[in-house]
Amino acid sequence: MAAYIARRLLLMIPTLFGIMLISFVLVQFAPGGPVERILAQLQGQDSSNRVSGGGGDFVGGGNQPAGGGGGETSSYRGAQGLDPAFIRQLERQFGFDRPAHERFLKMIWDYARFDFGKSYFRDISVLQLIKEKLPVSITLGLWMTILSYAISIPLGIRKAVKDGSAFDVWTSGVVIIGYAIPSFLFAILLIVLFAGGSFWQIFPLRGLTSENFAALPWYRQVTDYLWHIALPITAMALGAFATSTLLTKNSFLDEIRKQYVLTARMKGLSERGVLYGHVFRNAMLIVVAGFPGAFIGAFFAGSLLIETIFSLDGLGLLSFESIVNRDYPVVFATLYIFSLVGLLVGLLSDLIYVWIDPRIDFETREV
């Protein structure tokens, strides 16, 4: 197993390099860039709306070499009438006075040492900015994953036991419909119904906590926290449990039809004893092993629209705003971190497989 882990860790290096290289090259062909954004602001032509951040103020960003916007001074839109020396100074501050390959290699070297620099448009380091957004993303990702698994596992087991029954048919219809409804549409419906829309005002519309959260006793803080996350978590979890429910059902069906289950029944074990004493461990292997990946998927990628609708300032909204604002240090740093975490979670899932079922041996197969 040690050799397998070492191979997987070594393969992460070229994988990360390829992800960053492709993304960097694509950015070079994207229109606009931080320099053009500054010029547009100076000319009063920037109509973009930032939800958070530096309010349009330029912050140098210094040593962070990311793509886009280089070239001769005259190539910039909105540069007419501005001092060429000032534009060259902007290029130096953003690092665009160097060739693209030098900027990329410097970025990779900095990222290898976990030096992500500072945001172009916010006077704060990228790591500090990500740290500020983590509580929202952790809340949404963790609670959505826990809720979806708490629903999908019992429901999937029940559907497997009642396979082909009326219960199995109508619950499958409910699961599929829930999966088909976009979470943001359901979020809007919840706001209309329960957050001061046309009907009741039961839940708050924005934020994770109330303004007086720090002054509340601990038990009130808990209820206030749960009160704020009820609607966004419900909206996100609507279709999140569909895949895991059907996966649990099919996994249990495969195990129930095996010979050892028939043998256990012939020995006189109760149906519950067979199901939870023999089938459960084998059937839950693939479901439990997929938990880290499900959490990371919800944590990093599943909450952009929900964060926007409920005014929750998390990593999803941060990534979107950074792309719109051409804040390349934040864009590339979050991409690098998310990719690295995703690769490590893939390795962790394999290790969980082995921990749950020691019969699995990754040493005997190719990576």
83 close to 139: Cβ distance less than 8 angstroms: no
Q: What is the pLDDT of residue 281?
A: 74
Check residue 197 and give its pLDDT. Answer: 64
Domains and CATH numbers, the chain: 9-124 (no CATH), 129-325 (1.10.3720.10)
pLDDT (0 to 100) of residue 75: 56
pLDDT in tens, the chain (367 residues): 778 788 888 989 999 999 999 988 888 777 777 767 776 666 665 545 443 444 444 444 444 444 444 444 445 555 555 566 766 777 777 777 788 888 899 999 999 888 888 888 787 888 888 888 888 888 888 888 888 888 888 898 889 888 889 998 999 998 888 888 888 888 888 888 888 766 788 888 777 788 888 888 888 888 988 888 888 888 888 777 787 888 888 888 888 888 888 888 888 878 787 887 778 777 777 777 666 666 666 666 556 778 878 878 888 778 888 888 888 888 899 889 888 888 888 788 777 777 766 666 666 655 4
pLDDT value for 210: 82
pLDDT of residue 101: 86
